[in-house]
Structure 1
């Protein structure tokens, strides 16, 4: 220990050791070093601390940039990625234009471009309609000025910027995934992606009333907020659908307008749906005699059902929907007290008396937000009674260990009292052990 201490007694030696010579190297040299050096934690640290991967701000000689240079600046940003950053690590830049107009652009792996307009001067969110046309140019005879972007994320686009962004998008080719979020003034959205577009996500656009969508290859549709009207053309075989609507966006709902949406999700594999939406939109459509007999979500394997509570009427509505889900393997039930409450629909005989059905493939039910343990137990008994199935019931508790519900023999429950006279069996909860089967994996739509 003494020898080690003496080796650092010279202040000049300490200064030489502490000084950072690497960060002073030119970017070109650092780029070459990173291109031949293994990408371990040391390489990443060098890149981050020298700013090679993250440019916080880009200005033109200290003066604001011109808005008409927007497209060329984003183009340069995209073009220089491979040349200056050979390992294709994510990078970020901030463009300052006149009138306090700021764009934060970030470029990630697999040609993912994020354009964020939330900084700078935010005027009153004037409502507007937005038309986005993707992948419709003749790429065989296209100009060299086109940019290849696979995933495009647009944040906080407003009325004054939508045309600017639309013009830029026309120069992108092969966009496979489009994400639109936090566009407060957006009232109507029209997206045409005849080729290549496979995924569309629209979230946190509080004033959105209508979506027109034409996309031959679309497989994933995710949307949240308040229910809007969907007009779908050439959208037939969606596989991943998230309809996370906390309530209706209109004073009057016409279920017939959502027939195209119902047909489009018929072959879905993963679905998120609120209980109120089934009661007021899909329920009336599915309750017709023809749909009762022939309509099935025959490929649905994972369902995330969100409801305001799990009282008897809500359970009956859920089970009425489950009758159409013959291939369901995993069910996730989340209680959200902020979700839109629908008055009891007990007058509908088809909801209150759910006929027996089959769900032979159902292996696990994950629940969260239940106030009472007895509600989870009753859910299990309803599943046994209606569908003749007893899946693994897992309760997810925020900040606590998940636990499983076990049904125990009567002789082991001597002296124990049940919380409700409705229960037919005795139960206990045990902390969940590590799941090695993958049955309790996280739902794809969970945050």
Structure 2
């Protein structure tokens, strides 16, 4: 019997496309398919993949009933306590060109990935996602428990199917939307329990509307779009990994609501160009200059294309608003957008205080002298001398130490600008986690 089971598994994993085109499997009743999924053995070296074709041609697919029932049975039959005994991956052929791969992980994680099909659906679309608004006290027993939901490569043909399915999920806490080509306008409503939202690499996206009372974590990567955040009052950790402007003409006044929404964050990731062209002009207004502070910000992750004088000065202008900053992380990424020369030049930087700043991590700097000059500039402007750590790929992190005596022989023109002499010492232990790769960094 064991040998026979092994042969069946091998056969299922080597099934050819010509056999799929004959469409034997999709002719089976849904109840039989659910039973097959629930009893199929799964060892640590294989995945159970069920293939269905022609699903969109069924009369009731416009209501998403087949799609919902198959994914629902898949969720119900997953054994979270012992996932290797149940299938963790399901492949549905909605049509010849539309394929969805559904995978389940422990702690109620569901990933719906539509990237495997033929990508001939460039039509732009708007998408409204409503989460966690059902009356669960009088809810249907057919609701599914999903804590983390990841949606990949959803297009205009599949967005309604997905929306109908996830309206039956109980309390989604983490929502990830990525690589949805054609998605132009996104609206997410999660009035209860939605704590984390990630919108990643949707290249056509122009606007994001979010209404979520309990949202704490916001992640965005891609070109800068327009944000509307309603009833978002408790953001603690925000990543704005905007690779460049999404519009030919930026109107920074439109981003004042976003600036207010991130005012009380504890962790912030920001590109230098975005401060220069968007937030900088807003913060330079007289009212904001006097009253606006990131009073709770403790960790700042700053990404820039270089650290020339204007870039350093713009960073220091931003730091003046960060009165509680404890840790500063600077990453030089040459792929980051450079400013377009239309912003205000930050040639004069007023002095400020960063009493709580303890450590600065610097990554991607080409020359050691640039790190030394940055430290001296920081000491001069903010009257603070934090521990400075340099990290290079494939190398141990190094701490920059200031020596007590002035260097008498200067070997380079850059070193002539230094007021002190320095040396780098390898970090024996990394008690602060500075040398580890942070998820915010590109």
**Which stretch of the first structure deviates more once superposed, 130-139 or 365-374?**
365-374
Aligned Cα root-mean-square deviation (Å): 2.5
* 1:260 aligned onto 2:260: no
- Counterparts in 2 of 1:233 and 1:436: CA distance versus 1, 3 Å: closer
Distance 1:343 1:102 in 2: 42
Shift of 1:292: 1.5
Paired with 2:281 and 2:97, the residues of 1 have a C-alpha distance of 50
SS at match of 1:47: coil
- The alignment's TM-score, normalised by the length of structure 1, stands at 0.84
Indicate how the Cα distance of structure 1 residues 133 and 437 shifts in structure 2: closer, same or farther if over 3 A, else same. closer
Match of 2:243 among 243, 246, 266: 246
Q: 1:152-173, CA deviations, whole angstroms, 9 ceiling, x for partnerless residues?
A: 0000001111111111111112
Equivalent position of 2:145 in the other structure: 148
Measured after TM superposition, the shift of residue 149 of structure 1 is: 0.8
Number of aligned residue pairs: give it: 401
CA distance in 2, matches of 1:78, 1:434: 44
Question: Alpha-carbon deviations, 1:87-119, whole Å to 9, x = none?
Answer: 245822212233232111111111110000001
Structure 1 residue 400 displacement after superposition: 2.1
Matches within 5 A, 1:30-429: 47-49=43-45, 51=46, 54-55=47-48, 57-59=49-51, 64-65=54-55, 68=61, 69-82=66-79, 86-88=81-83, 91-343=88-340, 348=345, 351-410=346-405, 413-420=407-414, 421-429=416-424
Q: Structure 2 stretches of 5 or more lacking a match?
A: 10-41
The answer on whether the counterparts of 1:111 and 1:149 sit within 8 Å (CA) in structure 2 is: yes
Could you tell me whether the CA contact under 8 Å between 1:418 and 1:426 is conserved in 2?
no
Segment of structure 1 superposing worse, 71-80 or 86-95: 86-95
> CA 1:23–1:381 in 2, change beyond 3 Å: closer, same or farther?
farther
CA deviation string 1:335-382 (max 9, x = no partner): 11122211557965xx32222111121111111111222111111001
Q: Structure 2 length as normaliser, TM-score?
A: 0.85
The higher radius of gyration belongs to: 1
Change (3 A) 1:315 1:145: same
- Consecutive unaligned residues of structure 1, counting only runs of 5 or more, are 1-18, 28-45
CA contact (8 A) 2:361 2:434 kept: no
Contact 2:89–2:104 (8 Å) recurs in 1: yes
CA shift, 1:446, in A, is: 2.9
Describe the shift of the 1:443–1:300 C-alpha distance in structure 2 as closer, same or farther (beyond 3 A).
farther
